[in-house]
């Protein structure tokens, strides 16, 4: 391996080697004699540092310029090193690092202190990066499974809890089913086009539209369309778009909260990276992108359903964690609007999705982190009632929670506002007026349930005799929240440079 | 597409034969159930216990260890056969793979996956 290739792959190598080293450290470390637990909080810090180092390395390669590293092109199409990959590497590593920091506080507090959490998390991030980089359906599938296997285990991490086990089994069964659908679709697409790499698929589809009348072409076209439908269904499951969203609330609620944060942030970002790669890389010819015969109407319907159903149901939840789970489904709907906007201008649409994912990462990881902060052992803040009066008793915890919720709701000057602004701008640029109106109406519904948390925290007193949530004291959680809050305010005040990076990534 | 029509016919004929056999035996066959006959058949001896048996996790550990090392061998054989042609380049590519496997093996060992009696 040449030095140049090492430099190009440094973000992935850092995460892989760091994860392997930390896994060995955890296995070799002597256990405390009195409890059957390993000292894992230190490993949380190590994992967070590894993942942040991966994010910094991605930034380094970004500024060095992937075009200056031609030997990395030898890995294409299995691992494409472009600005798109690097942008996602940064987002995914950052999401993973925040989850690791949250776990460092959460796991010991809830007596789940087992070191396995961190290698699973790290290797899931590796799979997620590979997923963002894959431009071949085969390596895409391997990466998808690498990412998912770790997350299935993380979901069932609370082994004693039936909720957590149910969530893991549900997620695993439905996830495997969706993966099987995807593979079946990939097989059909390969059968129809003779290619697994997306660029090759695209060129064959172009040739199909050139001689459309040929009966041999029309029968292969039928196979191709069935394959495309199956792949889109599999992708829809991973991004939890509405007809395929049933697993999401249960899996998110049953998983330990740091794992939920990771699923809502990094797994979703990786799934959107995969969606964009497949649609823009393989199916962006005029016929596949047309409103009469292609994927835009399907994804537009997903977007409308996802936003509306998720927001209406989220407003009826009594559990804050479940509300946040539905809110993350709703955000997938907003993101789908950006994906549909790629029909007119690929750069604007993709750029808005990428920038939205960046802001969404910090807001959602922060919101789940604030939920972790608001509950200590045996006194978890589960329902809205549990949060009553936190604003008076623990103003700092309530203040950060409010910041993240306002960012999710899209209130200026937080990062979430600019994320939504650019998705709306891209949608209007593509003349998607109906989608834009639905998005704006849904933002209003969403504001209701985000603000409801604020109302409980600041304006209500806990009922007499009700259990009162006590915020935990953990430097790890505090560090994660400070990082996320700084990012939200930073992007909110100066959105220019990160937006420029998102558009640059979309253009690559 | 026309090439697949015989295959489709094969599937249909197969389904019809199997379906016909099952329906005809249930319609035509004499029915004289006794308690003895309705019991689940288990090699001629009386069945014992429940159908859900809890297996020790050790079996799964061993199976996973086997699969990992088995797949490793699948990848090692082609490398060994082409060792002269691939030379140093092949060795450099296989070395990280083997190193990662050793890391996994060390982890399993330290976590006690190989201790049968515990």
- The predicted pLDDT at position A16 comes to 93
The pTM for the full model equals 0.88
Backbone angles phi, psi at A136, to 5 degrees: -130, 135
Residue A99 lies inside a defined structural domain of this protein? no
Cβ pair A23:B110 closer than 8 A: no
Closest listed residue to residue A137, CA positions, set A213, A195, A214, A178: A195
Mean per-residue pLDDT, A121-131: 95
Q: B32 to chain A, minimum CA–CA distance in Å?
A: 42
Is the pLDDT at A31 greater than 70? The verdict is no
Name, in order, each residue with C-beta under 8 angstroms of B115's C-beta and a sequence gap of 6 or more: none
Interface mutation target, options B93, B110, B112, B115, chain A, most CBs of A under 10 Å:
B110
Q: In total, how many domains does chain A have?
A: 1
Question: Phi-psi category of A472—alpha, beta or left, where left has phi over 0 and alpha has psi -120 to 50?
Answer: beta
Mean per-residue pLDDT, A424-451: 92
Percent of chain A exceeding pLDDT 70 equals: 96
The whole-angstrom separation of Cα A507 and Cα A488 is 25
Residue A330 lies inside a defined structural domain of this protein? yes
Mean per-residue pLDDT, A348-353: 91
The whole-angstrom separation of Cα A184 and Cα A127 is 21
Name, in order, each residue with C-beta under 8 angstroms of A490's C-beta and a sequence gap of 6 or more: A415
Grade residue A500 by pLDDT with cuts at 50, 70 and 90: confident
A117-133 helix and A268-282 helix, angle to the nearest 10 degrees: 20
Cβ pair B107:A27 closer than 8 A: yes
Grade residue A467 by pLDDT with cuts at 50, 70 and 90: low
Grade residue B118 by pLDDT with cuts at 50, 70 and 90: low
Provide the token pair at A50: 């590894």
Cβ pair A28:B103 closer than 8 A: no
Mean per-residue pLDDT, A386-397: 85
Q: Which residues pair with A197 in a beta bridge?
A: A136
Mean per-residue pLDDT, A34-38: 50
User: Do the Cβ atoms of A366 and A257 come closer than 8 Å?
Assistant: no
Residue A323 lies inside a defined structural domain of this protein? yes
User: Do the Cβ atoms of A262 and A121 come closer than 8 Å?
Assistant: yes
Is the pLDDT at A63 greater than 80? The verdict is yes
The whole-angstrom separation of Cα A84 and Cα B60 is 40
Is the pLDDT at A102 greater than 70? The verdict is yes
User: Could you identify the residue written with the tokens 């939504």?
Assistant: A420
The whole-angstrom separation of Cα B48 and Cα B50 is 7
Name, in order, each residue with C-beta under 8 angstroms of A283's C-beta and a sequence gap of 6 or more: A201, A202, A205, A228, A289, A294, A295
- CA terminus-to-terminus distance, chain A: 25
Percent of chain B exceeding pLDDT 70 equals: 98
Mean per-residue pLDDT, A342-351: 86
A459 touches B: beta carbon within 8 Å: no
- The predicted pLDDT at position A461 comes to 81
Cβ pair A24:B103 closer than 8 A: yes
Closest listed residue to residue A23, CA positions, set A109, A111, A117: A117
The whole-angstrom separation of Cα B92 and Cα A81 is 22
The whole-angstrom separation of Cα A25 and Cα A39 is 10
Average pLDDT, chain A: 89
Cβ pair B107:A1 closer than 8 A: no
Residue A58 lies inside a defined structural domain of this protein? no
Q: Distance between alpha carbon B64 and the CA centroid of its chain, in Å?
A: 12
Residue A83 lies inside a defined structural domain of this protein? no
| Domain boundaries, position A380 | 295-508
Mean per-residue pLDDT, A330-334: 94
Chain B residues within 8 A of A24 when measuring between CB atoms:
103, 106-107, 110
Is the pLDDT at A139 greater than 90? The verdict is yes
Q: B34 to chain A, minimum CA–CA distance in Å?
A: 40
- The predicted pLDDT at position A406 comes to 94
Mean per-residue pLDDT, B47-69: 81
Is the pLDDT at B62 greater than 60? The verdict is yes
The whole-angstrom separation of Cα A217 and Cα A192 is 9
The whole-angstrom separation of Cα B115 and Cα A116 is 19
- The predicted pLDDT at position A495 comes to 86
Residue A284 lies inside a defined structural domain of this protein? no
Residue A434 lies inside a defined structural domain of this protein? yes
Give residue ranges of B with CB < 8 Å to any A CB: 1, 92, 100, 103, 106-107, 110-111
């Amino acid at each position: 391996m040449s030095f140049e290739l090492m430099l190009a792959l440094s973000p992935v190598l850092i995460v892989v080697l760091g994860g392997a080293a930390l896994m060995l450290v955890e296995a070799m470390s002597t256990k405390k004699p009195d409890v059957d637990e390993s000292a894992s909080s230190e490993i949380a810090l190590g994992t967070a540092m590894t993942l942040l180092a991966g994010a910094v390395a991605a930034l380094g390669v970004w500024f060095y310029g992937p075009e200056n590293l031609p030997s990395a092109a030898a890995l294409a199409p299995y691992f494409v090193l472009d600005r798109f990959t690097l942008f996602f590497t940064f987002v995914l590593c950052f999401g993973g690092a925040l989850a690791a920091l949250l776990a460092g506080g959460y796991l010991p507090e809830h007596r789940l202190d087992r070191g396995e959490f961190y290698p699973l998390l790290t290797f899931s991030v590796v799979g997620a990066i590979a997923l963002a980089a894959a431009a071949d359906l085969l390596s895409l599938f391997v990466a998808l499974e690498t990412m998912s296997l770790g997350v299935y285990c993380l979901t069932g991490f609370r082994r004693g809890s039936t909720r957590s086990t149910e969530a893991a089994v549900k997620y695993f069964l439905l996830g495997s089913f969706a993966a099987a659908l995807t593979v079946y679709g990939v097989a059909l697409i390969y059968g129809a086009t003779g290619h697994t790499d997306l660029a090759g698929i695209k060129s064959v589809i172009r040739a199909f539209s050139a001689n459309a009348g040929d009966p041999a072409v029309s029968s292969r076209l039928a196979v191709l369309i069935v394959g495309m439908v199956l792949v889109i269904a599999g992708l829809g499951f991973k991004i939890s778009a509405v007809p395929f969203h049933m697993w999401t609330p249960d899996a998110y609620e049953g998983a330990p909260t740091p794992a939920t944060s990771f699923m809502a942030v990094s797994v979703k970002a990786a799934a959107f990276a995969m969606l964009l790669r497949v649609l823009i890389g393989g199916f962006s010819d005029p016929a596949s992108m047309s409103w009469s015969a292609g994927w835009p109407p399907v994804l537009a319907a997903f977007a409308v359903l996802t936003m509306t159903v998720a927001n209406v149901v989220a407003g009826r939840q009594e559990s804050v964690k479940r509300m946040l789970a539905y809110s993350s489904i709703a955000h997938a709907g907003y993101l789908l609007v950006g994906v549909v906007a790629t029909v007119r201008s690929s750069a604007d649409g993709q750029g808005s999705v990428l920038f939205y994912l960046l802001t969404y990462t910090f807001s959602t990881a922060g919101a789940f982190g604030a939920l972790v902060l608001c509950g200590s052992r045996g006194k978890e803040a589960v329902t809205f009632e549990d949060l009553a009066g936190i604003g008076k008793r623990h103003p700092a915890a309530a203040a950060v929670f409010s910041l993240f919720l306002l960012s999710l709701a899209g209130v200026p000057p937080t990062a979430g506002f600019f994320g939504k602004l650019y998705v709306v701008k891209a949608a209007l640029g593509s003349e998607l007026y109906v989608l834009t109106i639905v998005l704006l109406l849904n933002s209003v519904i969403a504001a209701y349930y985000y603000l409801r948390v604020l109302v409980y925290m600041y304006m209500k007193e806990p009922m007499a005799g009700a259990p009162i949530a006590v915020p935990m004291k953990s430097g790890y959680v505090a560090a994660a929240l400070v990082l996320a809050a700084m990012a939200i305010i930073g992007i909110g005040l100066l959105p220019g440079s990160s937006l420029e990076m998102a558009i640059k990534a979309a253009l690559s | 597409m026309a090439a697949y029509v015989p295959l489709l016919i094969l599937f249909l004929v197969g389904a019809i034969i199997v379906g016909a056999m099952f329906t005809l035996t249930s319609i035509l066959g004499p029915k004289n159930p006794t308690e003895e006959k309705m019991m689940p058949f288990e090699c001629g001896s009386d069945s014992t216990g429940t159908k859900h048996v809890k297996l020790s996790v050790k079996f799964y550990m061993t199976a996973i260890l086997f699969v990992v090392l088995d797949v490793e061998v699948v990848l090692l054989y082609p490398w060994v056969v082409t060792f002269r042609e691939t030379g140093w380049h092949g060795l450099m590519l296989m070395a990280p793979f083997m190193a990662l496997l050793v890391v996994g093996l060390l982890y399993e060992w330290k976590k006690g996956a190989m201790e049968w009696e515990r």
